[in-house]
Amino acid sequence: MVIGVIGGGASGMAAALAAAENPDVSVILMERQARVGRKLQATGNGRCNLSNIHATDRGYNGERPEFAMPAIAAFDPEQTIRWFADLGLYTVTEPSGKVYPYSDQANSVVDVLRLNLCKPNIALKLGFEAEKIQKNDAGFVVSGNGETVTCEKLIIACGGLAGSKLGGSMSGYKLLAKLGHKSTRLRPSLVQIKTDWPAIAALKGVRANCHIEILRDGSLFGASTGELQLTEQGISGPVVFEISRDVCYGPGEWTARMDFLPDWEIARLEQELNRRRGTDLPMEELLTGILHNRLGRVLTKAAGVTGKAFVRELSNREAGDICGAVKSLEISLTEPMGMDSAQVTAGGVLTEQFDANTMESRLVPGLYACGEVLDIDGDCGGYNLQWAWSSGRCAGLHAGGVGL
Ligand SMILES: Cc1cc2nc3c(=O)[nH]c(=O)nc-3n(C[C@H](O)[C@H](O)[C@H](O)COP(=O)(O)OP(=O)(O)OC[C@H]3O[C@@H](n4cnc5c(N)ncnc54)[C@H](O)[C@@H]3O)c2cc1C
């Protein structure tokens, strides 16, 4: 039996390796780029956060997040770690639950998968973009680049629209739509959020520990604590990614309230500023040693305190305003960055049209889908790759009839 897999990303490689466990199966893995795992190589800032040990019963979103659970339960983070070890990749699990390659290099993950794909029953078709799929009695005919691939079963692992420079595209949604599958609204997730706060440009590149609350018309929409990264246009970093899903979608005033000293009670900060007011410290050094220098200066200005040469010149009210800016700065949010900058696509192909236990289409027998193309997106921290491995393996095992 020949099984075609369209997409040589995380889920497609997992699917191909799983299907090829049946020695009577021949797998043809089609990838439109010159090499497999291009996006994978850029994940986790080049470190590849390949799983999260907490990705067992939570961390997934979509119209039906429960769709993810059977595949995750059948191939959970522990099994994934063992699978990678069998493939030759050693991993470390951080106290937070995030799993990384021991080498700390995303390249290692891609290399190990690529090396394992070198099997007599797996053929790689690189630089092949699937443009059309025809279903016939014998299976499927996939055409693209003036060539055709014929297979009895077909797995769509084309990924989502996010990260378009790394291969994200509409391709999978379009191919599945032609076969009758519908998609939900697609939007960027795990993405930077833009602000119109004028001071933001001065903070480009600053990182800070922060507790952030996103408010919609003054009501709490989401909250998180962790690393904030400030960019030329907005707020980014893990703390933002964790709560970025659906921020700025829908009407209302969106604001971010940030506490740059979440581990300090405000009284401790007040006490420290009062102590500094008794010294000869120049004003621009007020928050030196507590916060990033540039952040300290911008927050002082944001509190409306200007034109003072020395900290000792601060009034009680001004010191209080600075504490307020440090502990609860509010800035307005305008929109998320586009799909280009997003790590994952929220939305995708309707999961009700697929069997959660096998990833097989309920509309077209012999057709499977896995990974980001489906309407499942994970939280920040390795959940998306875990979904790619679990759903890919599920599709591959069932298409290949492995151990069934
Ligand atoms: C910058 C960045 C960092 C990320 N970091 C993390 C992280 O640390 N941890 C985490 O869990 N997740 C992370 N993600 C998300 C994660 O990478 C994706 O969710 C995951 O790769 C999805 O796997 P997939 O197989 O569905 O799609 P992909 O990995 O995108 O693979 C799809 C493949 O299909 C190919 N393709 C598409 N259409 C066709 C076609 N018509 N014919 C042939 N080939 C086609 C594409 O070229 C691509 O190689 C990150 C994403 C980005 C963009």
- What domains can you pick out in the chain, each with its CATH number? 2-187+342-400 (3.50.50.60), 193-336 (no CATH)
| Helix ranges restricted to H, 62-202 | 69-74, 77-87, 106-116, 171-178
Query: Residue 191: exposed, middle, or buried by beta-carbon count in 10 A (0-12, 13-18, 19+)?
Result: buried
Q: Give 1's pLDDT tier (boundaries 50, 70, 90).
A: very high
Ligand 1 centroid vs 40 CA: distance in angstroms?
6
- C-alpha to C-alpha distance for 164 and 147, rounded to whole angstroms: 25
- Ligand 1: residues with CB < 6 A are 6-12, 30-33, 38-40, 42-44, 48-49, 129-130, 157-159, 162-163, 166-167, 169, 171-172, 343-344, 371-372, 382-385, 388
Q: Which of 158, 349, 386, 391 to mutate to test the pocket of ligand 1 (most atoms within 8 A of CB)?
A: 158
Radius of gyration of the chain (CA): 25
> For residue range 78-108, what is the model confidence (pLDDT) as tens digits?
999 999 999 999 999 999 999 999 999 999 9
Hey, which residues does 360 pair with through a beta bridge?
368
Q: Which of 81, 131, 385 to mutate to test the pocket of ligand 1 (most atoms within 8 A of CB)?
A: 385
Atom of ligand 1 nearest to the CA of 10: 25
- Token pair belonging to 38: 């291009």
Atom of ligand 1 nearest to the CA of 371: 26
Q: Rounded to whole angstroms, what are the CA distances from 143 to 19, 133, 151? A: 22, 6, 11
Q: Rounded to whole angstroms, what are the CA distances from 320 to 279, 281, 328, 339? A: 18, 18, 12, 41
Using CA positions, which residue lies closest to atom 3 of ligand 1?
43
- 211 has pLDDT over 80: yes
Task: Tabulate helix, strand, coil % of the chain (nearest 5).
Answer: 35, 25, 40
- Cβ atoms of residues 373 and 348 within 8 Å: yes
> For residue range 231-255, what is the model confidence (pLDDT) as tens digits?
999 999 999 998 888 898 889 999 9
Task: List the Cα angle 335/337/341 in 5-degree steps.
Answer: 165
